[in-house]
């Protein structure tokens, strides 16, 4: 379980790097079409290369539609999140996005008809407290919230929760590279539907975005999809949602190291709390397992 949990955690960390790359691209004058087109366009090309080299597995139309739906969730997560940032403070938008932790746990409980464990509920409460602190909301003054922005932020959280859940449930019998390629294809198709195929022309006419596109594609459409595909099917979906909160601390660390952004002591405390919330279910499970072994030995 530890190995598969690590895959999911590292996949979330890969997502966390994206915000710093996106902010850097925005500072260079690029738009959301450049950023998202680069992420899923170059991500698809990278996955195509891996597919041609390592796995040319064919799938049925039904399998493709299911995997493309998983990919659409990742694309919509980015679209909704970036749209929420247009009308909400970044601290509020990130807190709304991270509601995917409890949404994912609730989704699993609803579909499996099983109540979340006590350890899971405690972890969610710890993560929520840590997110509030790390998001810089406390002491941030008055916020003028847009209804549309809040809905977009919650929409991003729902799409993220669906991606995490489906990563562990949809067509998991397929080879990981082939499965990831069709997921990434779904992301690209959704992007072309939203922004129309002219986004391809925008990319072709703006070679300066290509280096950003390669980085965004690698860290946003290839590495996390592969890692979630490896780990999520073998662990509890609720635990996968909790582990995915690792995205937040990495996003903060990257912004400090690369963008030299200032982080308050309360935000650092929030990051520590988030890491504790992520670790709690694993530590609790290990403790319970150890007690059971001691009991059997006695």
> What pLDDT, on the 0 to 100 scale, is given for residue 45?
95
What percent of the chain stands above pLDDT 70? Answer: 93
What's the mean pLDDT in 71-83?
A: 91
pLDDT reading at 89 higher than 80 = no
- Give the Cα separation of 219 and 210 in Å (integer): 14
Q: Residue 136: is it exposed, middle or buried by C-beta count within 10 angstroms (0-12/13-18/19+)? A: buried
Per-residue pLDDT of 176-187, as tens digits, reads 999 999 999 999
88 or 182, higher pLDDT: 182
**Which DSSP helix (H) or strand (E) runs through 108?**
helix 100-112
pLDDT reading at 237 higher than 90 = no
> What pLDDT, on the 0 to 100 scale, is given for residue 60?
94
pLDDT band at 117 (very low <50, low <70, confident <90, very high): confident
pLDDT reading at 196 higher than 60 = yes
Do residues 233 and 172 make contact, with C-beta atoms less than 8 angstroms apart? Answer: yes
> What pLDDT, on the 0 to 100 scale, is given for residue 96?
86
- Give the Cα separation of 140 and 148 in Å (integer): 21
What percent of the chain stands above pLDDT 90? Answer: 45
> What pLDDT, on the 0 to 100 scale, is given for residue 254?
86
Nearest to 244 by CA among 266, 227, 269, 222: 227
**Which DSSP helix (H) or strand (E) runs through 198?**
helix 198-204
Per-residue pLDDT of 139-187, as tens digits, reads 655 556 788 988 998 999 999 999 999 998 899 999 999 999 999 999 9
Buried b (16+ CB within 10 A) or exposed e, 8-42: bbbbbbbbbbbbbbbbebeeeebebbbbbbbbbbb
Which residues are within 8 A (CB) of 282 and not within 5 positions of it... i.e. 6 or more apart? 1, 2, 5
> What pLDDT, on the 0 to 100 scale, is given for residue 292?
61
> What pLDDT, on the 0 to 100 scale, is given for residue 156?
92
- Give the Cα separation of 119 and 196 in Å (integer): 45
Per-residue pLDDT of 22-57, as tens digits, reads 888 988 999 889 999 999 999 999 999 999 998 778
pLDDT band at 65 (very low <50, low <70, confident <90, very high): very high
Q: How many residues does the chain have?
A: 298
Query: What tokens appear for 138 in the block?
Result: 């406390």
């Amino acid at each position: 379980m530890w190995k598969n949990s690590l895959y999911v955690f590292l996949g979330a960390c890969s997502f966390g790097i994206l915000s710093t790359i996106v902010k850097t691209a925005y500072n260079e004058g690029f738009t959301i079409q450049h950023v998202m087109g680069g992420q899923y366009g170059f991500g698809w090309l990278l996955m195509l290369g891996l597919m041609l080299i390592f796995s040319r597995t064919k799938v049925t139309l039904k399998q493709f539609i299911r995997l493309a739906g998983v990919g659409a969730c990742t694309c919509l997560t980015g679209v909704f999140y970036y749209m929420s940032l247009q009308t909400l403070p970044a601290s509020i938008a990130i807190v709304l996005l991270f509601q995917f932790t409890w949404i994912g746990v609730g989704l699993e409980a609803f579909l499996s008809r099983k109540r979340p464990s006590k350890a899971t509920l405690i972890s969610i409460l710890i993560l929520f407290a840590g997110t509030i602190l790390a998001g810089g909301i406390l002491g941030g003054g008055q916020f003028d919230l847009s209804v549309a922005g809040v809905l977009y932020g919650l929409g991003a959280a729902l799409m993220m929760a669906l991606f995490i859940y489906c990563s562990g449930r949809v067509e998991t019998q397929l080879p990981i590279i082939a499965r990831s390629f069709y997921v990434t294809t779904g992301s690209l198709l959704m992007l072309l539907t939203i922004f129309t195929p002219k986004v391809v022309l925008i990319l072709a006419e703006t070679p300066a975005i290509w280096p950003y596109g390669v980085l965004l594609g690698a860290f946003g459409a290839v590495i996390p999809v592969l890692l979630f595909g490896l780990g999520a099917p073998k662990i509890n979906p609720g635990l996968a949602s909790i582990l995915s909160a690792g995205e937040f601390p990495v996003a903060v660390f990257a912004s400090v190291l690369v963008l030299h952004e200032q982080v308050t002591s309360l935000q650092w405390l929030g990051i520590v709390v988030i890491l504790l919330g992520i670790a709690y279910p694993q530590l609790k499970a290990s403790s319970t397992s150890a007690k059971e072994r001691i009991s059997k030995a006695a």
